[in-house]
Amino acid sequence: MDGINMSMQKAHTGFTLIELMMVLLIGAILASLAVPSFINIIRDNRLASQTNDFISALNFARSEAIKRGTNITVCSSDNQASCNSAAPWQDGWVIVITNTGELLRAHAALDGSTLVNQEGNTNIQYTARGMLNGNTATTFNLCIDSGVPGRQISITATGRPRSTKYTAC
């Protein structure tokens, strides 16, 4: 008699096909809602990383100018070996000793579709005191897509870079 009761009490295990299809449908709906937000997160992180790379290069050039007691130039470069003021900044940049042209550091082209627009001097030149040569402030705008906020890097006449949000992309 125990054998009969045990077979009657056996519960169903697993899912039916309809239950499985409903779980997959709900998962697909949730994934489709999350993908646009994830794309924005990736775009924002890429822009933040590129902004930090550029600010790091500026800080390096400024500190080298002070340490070496000579002018250091940061300029756009399409070959990462020498300055080319006609090249757009998104193609990369180099840091050189102004008087000798000795290459201190190079940065490759920016990934993705980032555009860099510069307002002010073509090249950035730090004096031995860490100030911008000519005491003229310069601004760079980094934008990935139009209509999406970007980043603005402002370099004061004292040579200090800072980053803020830029909404005019």
DSSP 11: P
- Find out whether 85 and 75 touch, Cβ atoms under 8 Å: yes
Residue 8 has pLDDT above 70, yes or no: no
In a domain, 6, yes or no: no
- Find out whether 90 and 114 touch, Cβ atoms under 8 Å: yes
Angle ∠(37,39,44) on CA atoms, nearest 5: 95
**Residues sharing a CB contact under 8 Å with residue 11, sequence separation 6 or more, in sequence order:** none
* Nearest-angstrom CA–CA distance, 112 and 10: 58
Residue 131, number of CB atoms within 10 A of its CB: 18
Residue 157, number of CB atoms within 10 A of its CB: 13
pLDDT recorded at residue 145: 76
Give me the domain span that covers residue 75. 18-166
In a domain, 12, yes or no: no
The CATH number of the domain holding residue 108 is 3.55.40.10
* Nearest-angstrom CA–CA distance, 71 and 64: 9
SS3 25: helix
pLDDT recorded at residue 83: 92
Where residue 134 falls among pLDDT bands split at 50, 70, 90? confident
* Nearest-angstrom CA–CA distance, 16 and 98: 74
Query: Tens digits of per-residue pLDDT, 56-86?
Result: 999 999 999 999 999 999 999 999 999 998 8
In a domain, 5, yes or no: no
In a domain, 25, yes or no: yes
In a domain, 13, yes or no: no
Pair type for strands 72-76 and 93-97: antiparallel
In a domain, 162, yes or no: yes
pTM of the model: 0.78
pLDDT recorded at residue 41: 84
Number of structural domains, the chain? Answer: 1
